[in-house]
Amino acid sequence: MTAKPSLRSGLRSLRPEAFGADATGERLERIRRSPHFAQGQFQNPVGATVRPAGSTLELAKRYFRREERARRAPTGPVPVHATTLADLARPPASGLRLTWMGHSSVLAEIDGKRVLFDPVWGERCSPFAFAGPKRLHPVPLPLAALGPVDVVVISHDHYDHLDLPTIKALAGTDTVFAVPLGVGAHLERWGVSADRLRELDWQESTKVAGLELTATPARHFCGRGLRNQQMTLWASWAVAGDRHRIYHSGDTGYFPGFADIGAEHGPFDATMIQIGAYSDYWPDIHMTPEEGVRAHLDLQGGPHGTLLPIHWATFNLAPHPWAEPGDGTLAATRRAGVDIALPRPGEPFEPGSDAMPSTPWWRSVAPPAEAEVAAPVPEKPALAEPTRAAEGTGEPEPTPAA
């Protein structure tokens, strides 16, 4: 006699593919054994509120006000680098080259290997093809033209970092995926075989193609689908080759742990730091430009290495003006004496070289400057006492599918 399927399994079968999958079996047991998992969910290194603070009505008014909406988008086509494919055909002279593809997607060529961070080639960062934040510039080159990648690194499972169509395309290749604990369940549902997954807790490392990849702490949260139970981990990443070291922040609020990461895994030749999609409505889980530069200084123990700003310019995910992250980060690095790279999307560069891109390209399509809307950035962020993370449904931006 065939057993009838349970109501829960039946509902699971109706779950949209973009929502991914829940951890089960040994993966779930690993999650429960993690020292960063307590009270039924993953915890931040310091307390963080993940839901927007203040009045939801005021946030919605601010977000949808017509004059402010105009400031959150470029006034014309974003200048995407035109010769990415030809440039990537030449090996980097120094052994290290970074190509920012937009938002948090970066191709890192390090000591003869290729690492692809948070690849998002989809048109929307959303579970739906018809709604949600839409790309503000085209991808610099088709994913298929990128060529072989040794390892794909995912920082967390939000839609603007873990993109279903991109992962499904990469599932048909031989690449290995390094992901935070629990995220592997999504990838397996989308066609990535278990033997190509390296699923790590904070401070765990794996070797892929001679590179050492370490999942390091971040101050953020997770979630896909209608309910966010904080059952997948979020992470930043340190990658070490034979000669070079790099760091990718993923999404994170500022916290004191950057100095510890740098002391253990740095110094880094380059850091890729989130400096966009911040707001005074969610100060704990995204960094402002000032905080991003401060994180770089903490990681490096001073103004060393190159900072590449990420998590901006590609999607409209917060109330701040579109050009503000670029201008704010450039000003903060100048005050701190930090070397900054300012590539257009798709423009490869070698950190520390004399030919690093340094022109604020976004100003040619930036909306007219008006009075600042965001609250001023404090000298030092106030760190909340450790608290149980609140539930959420994904990124806290007030957009239909964020």
**pLDDT attached to residue 228:** 60
In 39-195, at which residue ranges do the beta strands (DSSP E only) sit?
41-42, 96-102, 105-110, 113-117, 151-153, 176-180
**pLDDT for 318:** 94
Q: What is the pLDDT of residue 321?
A: 95
Q: Take residue 249 and report the two structure tokens written for it.
A: 């922040």
pLDDT digits (tens, 9 = 90+) for 295-314: 999 999 999 999 999 999 99
288: helix, strand or coil: coil
Does 115 score more than 60 pLDDT?
yes
How would residue 65 be classed by pLDDT, with cut points 50, 70 and 90?
confident
pLDDT category at 55 given cuts 50, 70, 90 is low
Say how far residue 128 (Cα) sits from the centre of its chain.
Answer: 20
Task: Give 384's pLDDT tier (boundaries 50, 70, 90).
Answer: very low
Report whether pLDDT(99) > 60: yes
* The pLDDT of residue 53: 72
Dist CA 69 CA 63 (whole Å): 7
Instruction: Give the burial string for 250-283 (b: 16+ CB within 10 Å, else e).
Output: bbbbbbebbbbbbeebbebbbbbbbbbbbbbbbb
Is 202 in contact with 44 (CB distance < 8 Å)?
no
pLDDT of residue 288: 98
pLDDT over 70 (residue 191): yes
H-helix segments, 219-375: 257-265, 289-300, 324-336
Q: What is the pTM of this model?
A: 0.89
pLDDT at 202: 98
Distance CA 324, CA 201 (A): 34
